[in-house]
Amino acid sequence: MRRWLAAVSITMVSVLGLAACGGGGGSTTPAGQSPAASGGKQQVEVFSWWTGPGEADGLQAMRKIFEEKNPNYTFFDAAVAGGSGDKAKALLQSKLQASTPPDTFQGHAGAELQGYIKAGNLEDLTSLYDELKLKDAFPAQLVEQISVEGKIYSVPVNIHRSNVLWFNPAVLKDAGVAAAPKTIEEFIAALEKVKAKGKVPLSIGSEWTVTHLMESVLLGSLGTDAYNALFKPGADWNSPEVTKALENFAKILSYAGDPQDDWQPAAKQVADGDAAFNIMGDWAYGYFHNPPEGGLGKTSKTDFDWAPAPGTEGTYLWLSDSFTLPKGAKNREGALAWLKVAASKEGQDAFNPKKGSIPARKDADQSLYTDYLGDALKDWSSNKLAGSIQHGVAVNQPWLAAINEAVGLFIASKDAKALQQGLADAATANAQ
């Protein structure tokens, strides 16, 4: 535990150091002025955490369209490495507090953005939705989810699924596991069989990937309605049903291998046949599938395969990456130009196949979404929906921070009762 806390302290010092040095660049530009790039072009500072294979490729595909459509602007990539965006969000907060916001920043649609909205950091984009007719282009349920008191503050570029079980078919066959487990009980039995063969049963990455795992186990244990009810006022996080779900989580986590630095090396263990299972969002598909210059170049159904996380078939545990317009952006017009590309059919169809996600728009070119992505499109249109915890749909940032603290303590203690109390306390302090 001390080692983990020390790592967090080092991360925060590094983030603050980046902020002090200007971080995303252009911080010396006077407020209200646009930073100039070479050749007289104006920079548009786009802040995200897309630096890994697949996600960075998708961002670059959208960047190309943006610069072709806007020859007076040049894209400045202010991405900060780190899966799930924890480091990026810390740096972003320091930039917002210093009144030096990027021109636009990535955020997860849903509860995650509420803190920025309440703090007055974001411009209302409802007029942009009206101009581009985005309320017709996006599913009504999605528009409802991202609206706050009738206003909309972000442009979703995709839909991701959190509850995906990735597995290596050869490792399962060698362990005598006939198919992807459909229930929590079948999953635990399969993990035991893999362990007996000397392979890593379950790969994990850094701390946030453990919270990611937990949300799928909660959903798989409780069912959709009971899971969604956990995030409503008065929810009982101390119920016997939650106790059982967290006992399942503790048992499953006991089969995990050594934590990897982030989600990519954990996923790679599965693709390389060193591990059997990994529960990760469908951004892993882009990493598995994309050619070696931007991914692992693996073959689906042979090197890797997928299924809904155990117990969650029929439910889409969703999240959506979106872009915002911060108040006080140095290049507001450039940011709006970026948002128009992010919202467009062309931009989303360039981005999502490489990212490993499906488009937020209803009119995207479905022929581009095959293999895993074809399955995702079908499930998105027919499944029940549940909101991700780790990725900002179900809980706001203070609530997530408290959940991650409880999970971090659990990683060290393995005390499921203490974890449950920590989660209950987090809900009491933060549920609205």
Q: What is the mean pLDDT of residues 315-335?
A: 96
DSSP state string for 127-167: HHHHHHTHHHHS-HHHHHHHEETTEE--EE--BEES-EEEE
- pLDDT confidence bin for 84, thresholds 50/70/90: low
pLDDT of residue 8: 34
Nearest alpha carbon to residue 188 among 178, 202, 169 = 202
Average pLDDT across the chain, whole number:
89
Mean pLDDT along residues 387-398: 93
- What confidence score (pLDDT) does residue 139 get? 85
Question: How would DSSP label each residue in 313-357?
Answer: TTEEEEE-EEE--BTT-TTHHHHHHHHHHHHSHHHHHHHHHHHT-
Q: Do 323 and 342 touch, CB atoms closer than 8 A?
A: yes
Q: Provide the pLDDT for residue 282.
A: 92
Q: How confident is the model at residue 38 (pLDDT cuts 50, 70, 90)?
A: low
The predicted model gives 65-84 an average pLDDT of: 91
Inform me whether the pLDDT recorded for 173 exceeds 70.
yes
**Torsion angle of alpha carbons 211, 215, 218, 219, nearest 10°?**
-170
pLDDT tens column, 349-385: 999 988 889 999 999 899 999 999 999 999 988 898 8
Q: Residue 7 pLDDT more than 80?
A: no
pLDDT reported for residue 354: 87
Q: Which of 20-24, 200-204, 206-210, 235-239 has the lowest mean pLDDT?
A: 20-24
* C-alpha closest to that of 43 among 35, 51, 31: 35
pLDDT at 36: 52
Report for 36-45, 389-398, 409-418: range of highest mean pLDDT? 409-418
- Residue (of 228, 278, 190, 244) closest to 384 by Cα position: 228
**b (16+ CB within 10 A) / e for 248-260:** bbbbbbebbbebb
Distance between CA atoms of 45 and 26, rounded to whole angstroms? 8
Within 13 Å of residue 332, how many CA atoms lie on the same side as its CB? Answer: 12
| Count of residues making up the chain | 432
- Is the model's pLDDT at 101 over the cut of 90? yes
pLDDT of residue 9: 34
pLDDT tens by residue, 126-168 = 999 999 999 999 988 788 878 889 999 999 999 999 999 999 9
Rounded average pLDDT over 86-90 = 86
> At 244, is the pLDDT very low, low, confident or very high (cuts 50, 70, 90)?
very high
- Residue 432: the pLDDT is 67
* Position 10 pLDDT exceeds 50: no
39 vs 255 pLDDT, higher one: 255
What band does 19 get if pLDDT is binned at 50, 70 and 90? very low
Q: For the chain, list the domains and their CATH numbers.
A: 25-158+321-374 (3.40.190.10), 161-317+391-430 (3.40.190.10)
pLDDT 10s digits, 261-285: 999 999 999 999 999 999 999 989 9
For residue 18, is pLDDT > 70? no
